[in-house]
Structure 1
């Protein structure tokens, strides 16, 4: 397979699989840590209106979803990419970071969570995934 096609497929697969992991964790989060009483988590407007009811434990799964979704997506992209594996892992991290930044504007959250999420869940996870993928390819 031509390297350019393989690299394009790497980005597409990384974005899709990372998004599936992200959404899967978000979907199960309510059954693991139930939302606060009176919180409507089915709509963005409901989340905005009830954000003041959320405790720190309610932000664990969103952080894990962002971090693990980015990590898995970046790892998949780096494993599939024909060359420049770290660049592809970091590009997935960049895409997910843009999504994280946009979600901050759409859905307000506590500043501590926002800073932690944007600083740790995207670029560092993509970097770790890229390193792991490169190590696995050298075996």
Structure 2
């Protein structure tokens, strides 16, 4: 029984990371088709991004923020829903891992201070917290229907 719980917890974290990352990458990929980058600029290519990020206007940072926030939220929510025990702990672990990815991204790509602060303050831990709230609500609704 304990082994099954451990397995479920490991799978909850892995699923949260994989699906959360897929949401993140998906939004990063579709973002430039909705809000086009400046002329002659490839927003997907890291080198092009590093060279031309100074040309970005605030609207160009919307999808990177949404990608990080919604990726974190999705991953944390799934970890919460799938974990057998310590649901909040695993949801916040997802938030922390995504935060580490965000810090790495900020170190590798210079961005305006306002975006850096907004991203670090609002996209990770608060989204993991929100994922726990939504997860708790969904599980409570599910249990209420079963009675």
Contact 1:86–1:134 (8 Å) recurs in 2: no
Q: Are residue 31 (structure 1) and residue 23 (structure 2) matched?
A: no
- What CA deviation, in whole Å up to 9, does each residue of 1:19-59 have, x standing for no partner? 00000001100100000013233422211111111100000
Instruction: Please report the TM-score for the alignment, with normalisation by the length of structure 2.
Output: 0.91
Alignment partner, residue 80 of structure 1: 82
Q: Alpha carbon RMSD of aligned pairs, Å?
A: 1.1
Distance in 1 between residues matched to 2:68 and 2:38, nearest whole Å: 21
Q: Describe how 1:1-139 pairs up with structure 2 within 5 A.
A: 2-139=4-141
- List runs of 5+ in structure 2 lacking aligned partners: 142-147
Distance in 1 between residues matched to 2:71 and 2:44, nearest whole Å: 21
- After the TM superposition, list the runs of 4 or more consecutive aligned residues in structure 1 that deviate by more than 4 angstroms: none
Structure of larger gyration radius: 2
Contact 2:29–2:44 (8 Å) recurs in 1: no
Contact 1:85–1:134 (8 Å) recurs in 2: no
Distance in 1 between residues matched to 2:110 and 2:41, nearest whole Å: 15
Distance in 2 between residues matched to 1:72 and 1:9, nearest whole Å: 15
Distance 1:7 1:123, change over 3 A: same
Distance 1:128 1:42, change over 3 A: closer
